[in-house]
Structure 1
Amino acid sequence: MSDALSRSMEIRKHVVETDRGIVAAQHRQAAKAGAEVLRAGGDAVDAAVACGFVCSVLEPWMSGPAGGGAAMHWRADSGEAQALNFGMRAPAGLRLEDFPLSGDGQAGDLFPWQRVVEDRNASGARAVAVPAMVDGLEAAHRRWGRLPWAELLAPAVAHARRGMEIDWYAALIIASATRELARDADAAALFLSEGHYPRPFAWTALAEDRLDQSAMADSLDILAREGAAALHGGDLGAALARDVRDKGGYLSREDLAANRARFHAPLPVPYRDALFHVMPGLTGGPTFARAMGHLAEGSVPRLDDAYPAFAKALFAAYGERLCGMGHDGENPATPGCTTHFSVVDRKGNMVSHTQTLLSLFGAKVVSPTTGFLLNNGIMWFDPEQGRANSLAPGKPCLMNVCPILGETRGRRFALGASGGRKIVGAVTQIAAFLADHGMDLEAAFHQPRIDVSGGTTITADAALPASVHKALAALAPTHVARRSLLPYPFACPAAVLDTGKRRYGASEIMSAWGDAVAEPE
């Protein structure tokens, strides 16, 4: 825990309340775009399309058209939940011999796999998996959308034409990856200024500095006119695949045509008097279900006593995940590259949506023709063979994403988070705060959390009482951390909640850009 951080500063956010719809996202302008769609008569799904594409422009290092993810949808008219998986998979032409182990020990990024020569599974064109995010948004829109697809992409196209403004927060994010971005000429041209990170301000003055996202704007305009087919089998996808292969990767037009979004029956998770609907399959959903199952074995503890229970449940759930799903834990020092947003419209329809490039800036490679930053989904696989999650051509990736829907105490909510390995723990605790302790969103989002996510240690919020720290330390080695603007020790959640009469939205209190925006009158 840094001694340089202020001990007297307190950061809080107001929860947004309305009798109309609301969007909670990691970027205020993306949430605003979604809220404007609701005002125009759009469904929650329409708002999600607008929000998701604006996030791709204004948080390009977190997610984008060359990424993937998953979403949970609640339809108020039928009273049913639907799970939508638009995850990535390895290209069919991937060559295992191109990923020899280096013998240098563990890699330094999200997962403690054995290091691969030149980190080819973590950065560069060989690390690029087959994306499906665009098809995920379009699949939901085809089923439930009310407004024209092109209108929903218009805000993202407009933002890309202007170019993303670089403020202090964006400059910090770019500075954290300058060395890696400089290795790819197209990434350097997009994000760096003369080989260095941008300078948006001096000590007392702001400067006007924007990314040149004109190539991305052109590609988004094609998607607006032609839909996901342009990327999944069309000329835009062919151009993207060609760029990846020119840089040494494997992506093909046929890969893109084959990897499409898939609807599934959700995994129901009964929990005391509550019910959750989560993503099945190769996501964080089954691990959330296991954690809640372990919590349900005991009675509801008082709040301070809940933290050891959280730790035990998460240790057990992650132990089962590592054994049964082939996911071998993650490096706690490195954040994931993901964004989450939640939407509710005035009819009560909900979307809990997570989209990702995996690592921050993904593969640190940009497709010059499309302007898209590329994912590094190949890093989700264990490069050692003979394991459940071993790398193989055409194989689906095992994701951390954990969007959920919940109903408890007469309230319904959509919740999820970004933050790589930290996602499941954050979602588990906030769900328990709402279900077990009757908190509202403001209390739940300000309540301190812990992180237990596959390792042997616990990270505990410094704001927790000393007695809680002591109880946690009796279970496992415990590190104390303060919530900060950067990095995020405890994931970055966003949620909306519907009581039937009033609706509420909240984003992570330490997120500089995150906000909830109500549908305007």
Structure 2
Amino acid sequence: MNHNFSRSQTIRKPVSITTGGVVAAQHVKAAEIGAAVLEDGGDAVDAAVAVSFAMGVLEPWMSGPAGGGAMMIWREDEQKGYALTYGMKSPKALDPKAFPLAKDGKAADLFPWKSVVDDKNVQGPLSIAVPGTVAGASTAHQAFGKMSWHDLLQPAIKEAKAGLHVDWYAALVIASATRALSADPDAAALFLEDGQWPTIAGWTALSEKRISLSKFADTLSQLAEAGPQDFYRGDIAAAMVRDVQDKGGFLSMEDLASYSVNFESPLEISYRDSRLLATPTLTAGPTLKDTLGQMENMFTPSGKNPNAEAFQSYAAALKAAYTQRLTTMGDQDAPHSPSCTTHFSIVDRHGNMVSMTQTLLSLFGSRVISPSTGLLMNNGIMWFDPEPGHPNSLAPDKKCLMNVCPVIGEKGNRRFAIGASGGRKIMPAVMHLSSFMTDYDMPLEEAFHHPRMDASGGDAIIADENLSPEIIKALSRDNTVATTKRTVFPYAFACPAGVLREKNLNMGCTEIMSPWGDAVSEKGVNS
């Protein structure tokens, strides 16, 4: 017996249009902090610095000062884009022999590398790479910031002093990593009770349960007073290195002091009658260019929404592009891994834009806390293949290849800044949104609410069950297709955030299923 059921549940995040600046971020408080910076006369880059550090406090398991990332910057007065990549690097003293391969099995987290004994490349002190987020933020600020570094860190310091609010979503995320967090005494002391339960005793939906982040607050205060160089050459650096080495890691003062970031010319992608600017190296930017280049020859857009032919082309182009990426660039993260990154996009009232992605790599990074600084450390070493002789094999003093894909796009009188979190699912989401807004001229709100699919290298295509039966049927002709819902946790698809400017009017939107994400506009400006 066949049944056709109709469903009435819908979820929407309405988009507001304003002449003022807009910040779209995975945490609404961070978006509010960025919007307040814009309201005070700050540049989009100023807001990005404030949001970056705030996100490290509000979502510490996703990103923070001890991580890495990349950003795209658009300067309206110059009509020019800038790329900045500040990914993590392996320490100079790293010894590949410290990561012996197990006899069998695959790694326990995002990447299907051969398993390392005790997963030392996945979590723990040996998995910690040289962080780049502070260098990236400060490089952008030195070039384009208007407000002082000191002032921009104050909102994050205030949030850290207040402590991490453990609501239902935070409790869920912490619970998902309890076993891994229990392995590090300092991480367990911060996030767990009795080393085995999330710190949520006595929690109710209306409670104000908070985790103390006092050490993190002290570090941010030191960073605000002494400046970003302290993270790489000063007291913060010394404390962080001492803690990591005491736990057995390779990180050194030389690693931090020699870390540097420079602006690059963006990767320019011409796509039909639009143009996209992406990060050129060690990110998913080149794979996005490959995908869009194939799509341009596969179908001709028609109508207001992508049809079955368009989605077939999306799938074919993604599969081919990822085959190329996996054989030449070497990153092979599992397509169903949890979202463990954060992205935010900003446009100010003058039209300057920032698309910024930052990460610790895994959820909670290395699951190691630097006790002297309160910093949750990255596990960037997991980005490398522990087996010798491959394009991305583990080696000392080597840059990590990331999946981040911040983008600035334009068509006609519309310009947008988009990006996402979600590992290898990031680039397909950016591709979909770019196509929706350029091939079909979708409004930002409609593009973010339109169902998507993912074909980023797994055995099956993952399709939103809200795609039409015709599209699902077409995708199934040449592929194994698994349909699923867009859910709150874990994410089946990437978690994007974007802003758009059209005729001097700005707007923003975030992933509709992100419980904390929102777009916030500066107050006191015409909306």
The equivalent of 1:325 in structure 2 is 329
Residues 383-402 of structure 1: pairs in structure 2 closer than 5 A: 383-402=386-405
The equivalent of 2:200 in structure 1 is 199
- The code of the aligned residue for 2:426 comes to I
For the 8 Å contact 1:241–1:251, the answer to whether it is kept is yes
Structure 1 window deviating more from structure 2 (206-215 vs 274-283): it is: 206-215
- The code of the aligned residue for 1:198 comes to T
Indicate whether 1:312 and 2:313 are aligned: no
The equivalent of 1:423 in structure 2 is 426
CA distance in 1, matches of 2:18, 2:268: 29
Deviation at residue 160 of structure 1 after TM alignment = 0.3
Q: 1:26-78: CA deviations, max 9, x gaps?
A: 00000100000001100000000111110000000000010000000000111
Deviation at residue 200 of structure 1 after TM alignment = 6.7
Percentage of pairs with the same residue = 54
CA distance in 1, matches of 2:374, 2:360: 15
CA RMSD of aligned residues (A): 1.3
Q: 1:212-256: CA deviations, max 9, x gaps?
A: 100000000111111211011212111101111111110011101
Residues 495-510 of structure 1: pairs in structure 2 closer than 5 A: 495-510=498-513
CA distance in 2, matches of 1:500, 1:189: 52
The equivalent of 1:88 in structure 2 is 88
Deviation at residue 300 of structure 1 after TM alignment = 2.2
| 1:445 aligned to which of 445, 448, 452 | 448
| Secondary structure of 1:421 counterpart | helix
Task: List runs of 5+ in structure 1 lacking aligned partners.
Answer: 1-5
Deviation at residue 324 of structure 1 after TM alignment = 1.6
The equivalent of 2:3 in structure 1 is none
For the 8 Å contact 1:23–1:34, the answer to whether it is kept is yes
| Secondary structure of 1:152 counterpart | helix
Q: 1:129-170: CA deviations, max 9, x gaps?
A: 000101110101001100111000000000001101110000
The equivalent of 1:66 in structure 2 is 66
The equivalent of 1:462 in structure 2 is 465
For the 8 Å contact 1:87–1:261, the answer to whether it is kept is no
For the 8 Å contact 1:84–1:263, the answer to whether it is kept is yes
For the 8 Å contact 2:339–2:490, the answer to whether it is kept is no
Q: 1:89-131: CA deviations, max 9, x gaps?
A: 0000111111011022211311110000000000000000000
- The code of the aligned residue for 1:266 comes to P
For the 8 Å contact 1:200–1:208, the answer to whether it is kept is no
- The code of the aligned residue for 1:199 comes to I
- The code of the aligned residue for 1:404 comes to V
Deviation at residue 8 of structure 1 after TM alignment = 4.2
Residues 23-422 of structure 1: pairs in structure 2 closer than 5 A: 23-195=23-195, 196-199=197-200, 206-302=206-302, 303-305=306-308, 306-327=310-331, 329-422=332-425
CA distance in 2, matches of 1:150, 1:84: 22
| Secondary structure of 1:228 counterpart | coil
Q: 1:351-400: CA deviations, max 9, x gaps?
A: 00000000000001100000000100000000110011000000000000
The equivalent of 1:474 in structure 2 is 477
For the 8 Å contact 2:93–2:396, the answer to whether it is kept is yes
Q: 1:470-510: CA deviations, max 9, x gaps?
A: 11111211111100011111100000000132101000000
Structure 1 window deviating more from structure 2 (231-240 vs 361-370): it is: 231-240
For the 8 Å contact 2:346–2:355, the answer to whether it is kept is yes
Q: 1:458-481: CA deviations, max 9, x gaps?
A: 000000111111111112111111
Deviation at residue 201 of structure 1 after TM alignment = 6.3
For the 8 Å contact 2:335–2:423, the answer to whether it is kept is no
CA distance in 1, matches of 2:148, 2:35: 16
CA distance in 2, matches of 1:65, 1:205: 30
Deviation at residue 435 of structure 1 after TM alignment = 0.3
CA distance in 1, matches of 2:201, 2:448: 31
| TM-score normalised per structure 1 | 0.97
CA distance in 2, matches of 1:205, 1:64: 27
CA distance in 2, matches of 1:60, 1:460: 30
Structure 1 window deviating more from structure 2 (220-229 vs 389-398): it is: 220-229
- The code of the aligned residue for 1:197 comes to P
The equivalent of 1:13 in structure 2 is 13
For the 8 Å contact 1:88–1:259, the answer to whether it is kept is no
CA distance in 2, matches of 1:178, 1:433: 39
Q: 1:256-287: CA deviations, max 9, x gaps?
A: 11122221010000000000000011101000
For the 8 Å contact 1:31–1:51, the answer to whether it is kept is yes
Structure 1 window deviating more from structure 2 (281-290 vs 186-195): it is: 186-195
CA spacing shift, 1:352–1:337, aligned 2, 3 Å:
same
Task: List runs of 5+ in structure 2 lacking aligned partners.
Answer: 1-5
Deviation at residue 7 of structure 1 after TM alignment = 5.4
CA distance in 2, matches of 1:336, 1:58: 16
Deviation at residue 206 of structure 1 after TM alignment = 2.9
Structure 1 window deviating more from structure 2 (204-213 vs 381-390): it is: 204-213
- The code of the aligned residue for 2:460 comes to T
Deviation at residue 172 of structure 1 after TM alignment = 0.1
Deviation at residue 194 of structure 1 after TM alignment = 2.9
CA distance in 1, matches of 2:122, 2:107: 9
Runs of 4+ in 1 over 4 A off after TM superposition: none
For the 8 Å contact 1:200–1:206, the answer to whether it is kept is no
| TM-score normalised per structure 2 | 0.96
CA distance in 1, matches of 2:97, 2:43: 47
- The code of the aligned residue for 1:231 comes to F
